[in-house]
């Protein structure tokens, strides 16, 4: 009997330390600094680097990675509990060496990188001496890789990359890009694309413009052009035609980590909702005494607990199987649920705060936009729902009979036959 919802005391002590550290030291950073990926800002060295050193001393740096890469090798369940805390503060992931897209890029460089690639790209990325960018989506579409046109053509021993990429997050701060390009136009999308690690200063790369999201202080999602960009053969990551498989490995873990952090963000909105309900009086009573406000609070808590259980069970299944294919349905379900949970809870918090709730003085509009981002980045919700449905349908077979076994008269006839009785 192994169903257990408890945390070991020793690990709980680490979580308690993290909780206080993030609240007291990390949360205030977002009010004085710009983008967490702007590691070359002199204030980053002054304010963030000392906190990163404390995290390393505590052995909590890059815990998603194994000890051979300087991480703690924690499984996904432990990471889930940690990421809930990291989700509460914009700078927490970078302070703990667990920030996207570098966390996923580290994982694929560790799994598929050659010794040259690991020394040149992975080592500084692990140490957060540089940040990186993952460039897959194209302006003509992201949800369907069949519309991608960026190509890498063989030239001598190397490759020449040409095409455009869209919404490549943090390209403006990145030291290198991991780029997906067609290398075999005759093959299918899933076998004809390869991955390249391209230094950002390679001639021919241009940021056409940086695109902003809602009221983000900086525009950080690049519209990128690759105009005859030459790279040597040693810059291909993995084997030719392996890009899609590599991307799936990267996105599988990343989606769950986003969901874990969303729990922290939604919890923050729920905390604000409850505090406000207990603090504000209207028409002679506290908001917390109004049944329609109580309903919002109850719905928010129930929705968050359901989601948290789904995320933690998915984390547990990843640890158990060590095979993302076996957990595809669970990960897709988590990915499809997370935008709605964040959207609904942040909307209730906004509504109960009244006018100040909708204002720029409160975080709720930002959280609602964040919910939409969560429903797009790493693939739109609709696509993940399709995955859930398809995976689920594989567990069923069509009924060859006119009336299925669960049809009541058919079931009654079968029961009568089994117990040798005449049906009523």
Ligand X SMILES: Cc1cc2nc3c(=O)[nH]c(=O)nc-3n(C[C@H](O)[C@H](O)[C@H](O)COP(=O)(O)OP(=O)(O)OC[C@H]3O[C@@H](n4cnc5c(N)ncnc54)[C@H](O)[C@@H]3O)c2cc1C
Stretch that binds ligand X, among 49-57, 380-388, 389-397, 411-419 (CB under 6 A): 380-388
143 is a site residue for ligand X (CB under 6 A) = yes
Host H or E run for residue 198:
strand 193-199
Nearer to ligand X, 101 or 113 (CB): 101
Stretch that binds ligand X, among 106-114, 141-149, 296-304, 356-364 (CB under 6 A): 141-149
CA 317 – CA 370 distance, rounded (Å): 27
Nearest distance, CB of residue 220 and ligand X, angstroms: 9
Q: Give the footprint of ligand X on residues 74-93 (CB under 6 A).
A: none
What is the number of the residue whose Cβ is closest to ligand X?
142
User: How do strand 176-182 and strand 236-237 relate by DSSP bridges?
Assistant: unpaired
* First and final C-alpha spacing in the chain: 42
User: Which of 19, 119, 271, 382 is in the footprint of ligand X by CB under 6 A?
Assistant: 382
**DSSP labels for 305-329?**
HHHHHHHHHHHHHHHHH--GGGGHH
Q: What are phi and psi of 236, to 5 degrees?
A: -80, 130
User: Which of 21, 121, 134, 159 is in the footprint of ligand X by CB under 6 A?
Assistant: 134
CA 70 – CA 238 distance, rounded (Å): 22
Count residues near ligand X (CB under 6 A): 23
136 is a site residue for ligand X (CB under 6 A) = yes
Contact of 168 with 226, CB cutoff 8 Å = no
**Cβ neighbours of residue 78 closer than 8 Å, sequence gap 6 or more:** 11, 63
Token output for 135: 């460039």
200 is a site residue for ligand X (CB under 6 A) = no
Nearest distance, CB of residue 376 and ligand X, angstroms: 4
Q: Nearest CA to 334 among 318, 348, 319?
A: 318
Q: Give the footprint of ligand X on residues 383-422 (CB under 6 A).
A: 383, 386
Stretch that binds ligand X, among 70-78, 110-118, 138-146, 391-399 (CB under 6 A): 138-146
Nearer to ligand X, 150 or 267 (CB): 150
Buried b (16+ CB within 10 A) or exposed e, 370-386: bbeebbebbbbbeebee
User: Which of 76, 117, 128, 169 is in the footprint of ligand X by CB under 6 A?
Assistant: 169
Binding residues (CB under 6 A) for ligand X: these are 101, 134-137, 141-144, 167-169, 213, 221, 373, 376-380, 382-383, 386
């Amino acid at each position: 009997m192994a169903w257990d919802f408890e945390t070991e005391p020793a690990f709980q002590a680490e979580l308690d330390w993290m909780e206080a550290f993030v609240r007291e030291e990390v949360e205030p950073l977002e009010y004085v600094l710009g983008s967490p990926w702007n590691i070359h800002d002199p204030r980053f060295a002054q304010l963030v680097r000392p906190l990163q050193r404390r995290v390393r001393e505590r052995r909590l740096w890059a815990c998603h990675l194994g000890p051979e890469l300087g991480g703690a090798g924690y499984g996904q369940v432990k990471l889930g509990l940690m990421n809930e805390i990291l989700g509460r503060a914009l700078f927490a992931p970078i302070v703990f060496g667990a920030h996207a897209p570098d966390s996923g890029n580290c994982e694929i460089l560790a799994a598929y990188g050659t010794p040259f690639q690991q020394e040149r790209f992975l080592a500084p990325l692990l140490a957060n001496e540089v940040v990186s960018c993952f460039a897959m989506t194209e302006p003509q579409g992201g949800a369907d890789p069949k519309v991608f046109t960026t190509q890498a053509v063989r030239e001598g021993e190397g490759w020449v990359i040409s095409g455009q990429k869209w919404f490549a997050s943090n390209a403006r701060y990145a030291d290198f890009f991991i780029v997906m390009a067609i290398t075999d136009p005759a093959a299918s999308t899933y076998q004809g694309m390869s991955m390249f690690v391209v230094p950002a200063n390679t001639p021919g790369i241009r940021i056409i413009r940086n695109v902003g999201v809602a009221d983000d202080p900086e525009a950080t999602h690049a519209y990128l052009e690759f105009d005859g960009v030459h790279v040597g053969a040693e810059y291909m990551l993995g084997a030719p035609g392996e890009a899609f498989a590599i991307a799936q490995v990267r996105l599988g873990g990343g989606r769950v980590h986003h969901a874990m952090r969303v729990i922290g963000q939604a919890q923050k909105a729920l905390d604000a909702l409850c505090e406000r309900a207990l603090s504000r009086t209207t028409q002679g009573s506290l908001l917390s005494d109004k049944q329609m406000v109580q309903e919002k609070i109850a719905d928010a808590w129930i929705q968050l607990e359901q989601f948290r259980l789904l995320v933690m069970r998915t984390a547990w299944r990843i640890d158990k199987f060590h095979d993302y294919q076996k957990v595809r349905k669970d990960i897709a379900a988590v990915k499809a649920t997370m935008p709605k949970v964040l959207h609904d809870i942040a909307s209730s918090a906004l509504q109960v705060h009244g006018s100040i709730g909708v204002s720029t003085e409160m975080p709720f509009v930002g959280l609602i936009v964040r919910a939409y981002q969560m429903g797009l980045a790493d693939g739109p919700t609709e696509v993940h729902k399709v995955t859930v449905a398809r995976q689920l349908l594989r567990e069923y077979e069509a009924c060859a009979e006119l009336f299925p076994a669960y049809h009541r008269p058919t079931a009654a006839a079968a029961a009568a036959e089994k117990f040798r009785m005449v049906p009523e």
